[in-house]
Structure 1
């Protein structure tokens, strides 16, 4: 990262921590208005949900690119560099473009900051400013379609400055309760805030009936056209394979057979269904099937770094950004389905605002031992504190190894996986996106985003 980019990113972070939101769309809408509403110059798909948003966005992006459209994608958080948050044609914007987007927004942000402060309100937050940068960069490119991942919740998220053609909601679980509510129904109500009367709604299958009821009621209230997974759309069959899985799926407009998806896990098949339906809705109003060859090429080429990603072999190191209990549960299922490890060693680090007990309890049955570490994030639970939690959860001190140094923790996990000359052991890295990013970096994968 260049010094100039570091300075820009530092200036953004000074505005507010990324995990803090201000429940008000006034500032972001005002900035967009002053800038001439660049987000209205292209079509868009907006994605909310607890887990699966980033991968769904990447699959949508790949399909639209294979269909010949120029795409913009904004997702969060980033793995290695803030430039990853803004992608054009499937690749992160370069540092020069990121800095230019920041400078393009700056005079308008300063004007809105002054207005807000005069009225007793806050400056634009970090995320609000980032959203404005992304929308401006997309207009500058220019793109045909923007694929926009919600940052947190839905109703008050800054991405609400855009008026999407298609709204997608993935599976909903407990996360960010301090902002979104303590129950599934309350959280689903916040996610349902992205639905609009004028957009086509694509709704993922919900494990929690309360979430499904809230989303269905909201779609009916708005009168928006909607496709629900398990009803109009769904996974018809799937067969795990080497490096991915074979799928047959039902979309809104057609059935698609013999598709190879280059991602591991049943959850990725569900993400793919939502992406396919979203693209059908955008490209043909849900009435025209996607080209079979085009779709097959897109799914075979899609990647999702840090999501059930095999980072190395011998022993296998699997990296996943699972940072809540639902994500950890999906990771456990993915490992059991796709790998036959004779020894499974965890490498876990968790951020302070997350449910560490529940994440560790979900991972515990999978793991022969766990190496507890921490990322460089100031929000990371210190390794010694997390290790104490792990010892209580695992009920066996011998299965919990503490290593605050992440490079040392990786080596300890690899050594444990290979203990006794075992050639079929594996290491599963999980607990936070920052941990996943730093392990990827240490393993030389930082450029593969």
Structure 2
């Protein structure tokens, strides 16, 4: 790899910082359902000086290798953290890998730990709207001021590391160093850390986590991780440490075999969904679903989860088992977590951009599905939770994804599809996306609107034509970036 950082642009971070709620056609697109509940995706700082400083830090970070450009080595991270005094060793951690569901699971784990009065740090990626979302303290994105201060604190050490290494620290490596430093400075009682990509060589994999969580593995980043779930699992199994506990979501057989083999090699204890823990019952409820979860310490009944989709119920089971394992339940001692605390925690969980309703009349739902496996569970979740008489899709995807597989997963549920593109260089052009969409949907079901605001307006208009709001809806999907920008356009954030 060379140092021409501008050759590869990271779509997950290289956004237009001036994107805001804008006029679409003759009216402003906005939510009709009020301010989102729970922790919110942060808006730009109100203080102009803080906003300016945050933008400057963002640009400094974006001048580095993007997180989509990798050098399989932990040498730079280890060098940086050594200079910082190894802040990642100041607190225990729970490490999360997998293909889909990592961020939602991390948010559930964080909420459960917080309910038991532990101070939490959460590191997830990519962000939906603001870079500060990636580093959270006690369930709230780090304040812009603190984000800027943290960068100022570690910047001299980042530059020292740059000078001593063959390559400079990447965007993701620098941000990971910031997260670990911020958590130590807080200080937190426990960190919940999501890998960026893979596992073994991921920048986050300098922690010695006692609990490793593996969400469902499917095909994504195949150019870097492998062409089968089993091959991808080899890289992801790298987060399993000696004598740790592994919380293993339901997996393809080849991926499960790899994980179990790794666990044996490092004497790790494995808890498998469907065996040691899982979802016992699940019923659709107003605003979410009602669950009975079987944890490592017994059954937890009457759990209300304000998220849609069977996949979120499975994420909840994984999160519960991870927190039980963190507290030693199922290994060091018997017993279970306090049921009322668990109920209260799950009832307060949020996951922006994951089957999130942001508007009514017509209903507009956002979901960040960006690969075929994610699209399959999103399609199932929409079908189950919403009784749409007609569903219009708004899709903007990245060019390096399996776009055909994504569209094929949505074809059965979309009456029509509006293809568009987000503002990042990695976005597939609306024309190229349309060419694939026509092959999947047929020409008569495809509308092309290169501007996302126009695409939203077109989809809402199509939905409104369905018997004056009688059950038609809109699903915006295809990319975290597309969802984040749509969220702004629709008045959230």
- Contact 1:253–1:280 (CA under 8 A) maintained in structure 2: yes
Larger helix fraction of residues: 1
Q: Does 1:417 align with 2:463?
A: yes
Whole-angstrom distance in 1 between the partners of 2:176 and 2:260: 28
- Partners in 1 of 2:116 and 2:466 — Cα distance? 51
Secondary structure, counterpart of 2:304 in structure 1: strand
2:175 maps to 1:130: yes
- Specify the SS of the correspondent of 2:417: strand
TM-score with structure 1 setting the length: 0.97
Q: Say whether residues 1:41 and 2:90 are aligned partners.
A: yes
What is aligned with 1:213? Answer: 257
2:244 and 2:267 in contact (8 A); partners too: no
Partner of 1:87: 136
Contact 1:22 1:125 in 2 (8 A): no
CA distance in 1 between partners of 2:273 and 2:399 (Å): 34
Aligned to 1:100: 149
**Secondary structure in structure 2 of the residue aligned to 1:330:** helix
CA shift for structure 1 position 278: 0.7
- Specify the alignment match of 2:315 in structure 1: 271
CA distance in 1, matches of 2:265, 2:402: 34
Structure 2 gap ranges (5+) = 1-43, 45-50
- Higher mean Cα deviation, 350-359 or 17-26? 17-26
Q: Which residue of 2 aligns with 1:30?
A: 79
> Pick from 480, 484, 487: which aligns with 1:437?
484
Distance 1:122 1:179 in 2: 19
C-alpha distance in 2, partners of 1:37/1:224?
A: 24
The alpha-carbon deviation at position 285 of structure 1 amounts to 4.2
Q: How many angstroms apart in 1 are the aligned matches of 2:491 and 2:238?
A: 39
Instruction: Say which SS state the counterpart of residue 173 (structure 2) adopts.
Output: helix
Residue 348 in 1 paired to residue 410 in 2?
A: no
Query: In structure 1, how many angstroms separate the alpha carbons of the residues matched to 2:90 and 2:167?
Result: 28
* SS of equivalent to 2:242: coil
Partner of 2:240: 195
Identify the residue that residue 353 of structure 2 maps to in structure 1: 306
Query: What residue is the counterpart of 1:400 in the other structure?
Result: 446
Please list every run of 5 or more consecutive structure 1 residues that lacks an aligned counterpart in the other structure.
none
Q: Look up the SS of the partner of 1:238 in the other structure.
A: strand
Relative contact order (alpha carbons < 8 A, sep ≥ 6): 1 or 2 greater? 2
In structure 2, the partner of 1:50 is 99
Match of 2:205 among 157, 160, 168: 160
On the 8 A contact 1:346/1:413 being kept in 2, the answer is yes
Alignment partners' CA distance in 2, 1:165 and 1:44: 7
Matches within 5 A, 1:182-261: 182-206=227-251, 208-261=252-305
Shift of 1:420: 4.2
In the alignment, is the contact (CA less than 8 A) between 1:13 and 1:126 conserved in 2? Answer: yes
TM-score (norm 2): 0.88
| Matches of 2:69 and 2:96, distance apart in 1 | 20
Aligned to 2:225: 180
* SS at 1:196 equivalent: coil
Equivalent pair of 2:196/2:204 in contact (CA under 8 Å)? yes
In 1: Cα distance, 2:222 partner to 2:150 partner: 32
Contact 1:44 / 1:164 at 8 angstroms: preserved in 2?
A: yes
* SS of structure 2 residue aligned to 1:303: coil
CA contact (8 A) 1:310 1:319 kept: yes
